[in-house]
Amino acid sequence: MSQRKQSDESLGRFLSLVLRHQPQAAYITLDRHGWADVEELLRGCVRAGKAIDRETLERIVRENSKQRYSFSPDGKKIRANQGHSVPVELDLREADPPPRLYHGTATRFLESIRREGITRQSRQQVHLSAAVETAVTVGARHGSPVVLPIDAAAMAGDGYTFWLSENGVWLCREVPWRYVLEEELIYPTAPGEK
């Protein structure tokens, strides 16, 4: 991996921390919709020892495979698209979900999820994917992955609200266990395992 790519990944993790969880780590505040002033963010990152310029910030936003961040139309503000643990109003649009959605997690959390359902934990919403592959990647970040297929059509029919973020992540407040299609659980081989 190139030195620039490693640096961008490190800065990307710091941006995720700042724009989703701890804006004070870069000496900034987020407005009620999660937006940060780009110039204040750049100055705050330098102050926090994470030197970044506008060009690098734009590259990180553009090349982030998860499309985690968005600039405002005038380019003066930036925010994370979802995943906040700090209270923000993202003005997400409600959407009708596809019949199946997927949630990736680690097998060690499965018993807890069976008891409590899929909960938001410290975030504002539960994150779901329309693609099994994405859910596998998410689950593998936490250990041996398991993908939980969700009967999203039944949830929507029962009155649960879904939102679709700008980067294609499906969100809801919770997923009770009864909507997890237990007979269809997917136990993939984690990347790097044989």
Structure confidence by residue, pLDDT tens digits, 158-169 = 999 999 987 788
Name residue 117's amino acid: G
Give the pLDDT of residue 88.
Answer: 78
Q: pLDDT band for position 110 (50/70/90)?
A: very high
What is the rounded average pLDDT for all residues in the chain? 89
* Residue ranges of domains in the chain, CATH in brackets: 3-80 (1.10.10.970), 93-184 (3.20.170.30)
Residue 13 confidence (pLDDT) above 50: yes
Q: Are 165 and 128 in contact (CB under 8 A)?
A: no
Residue 91 confidence (pLDDT) above 80: no
Give the pLDDT of residue 7.
Answer: 81
Does the model's pTM come out above 0.85? no
Q: How far apart are CA 46 and CA 52, in angstroms?
A: 7
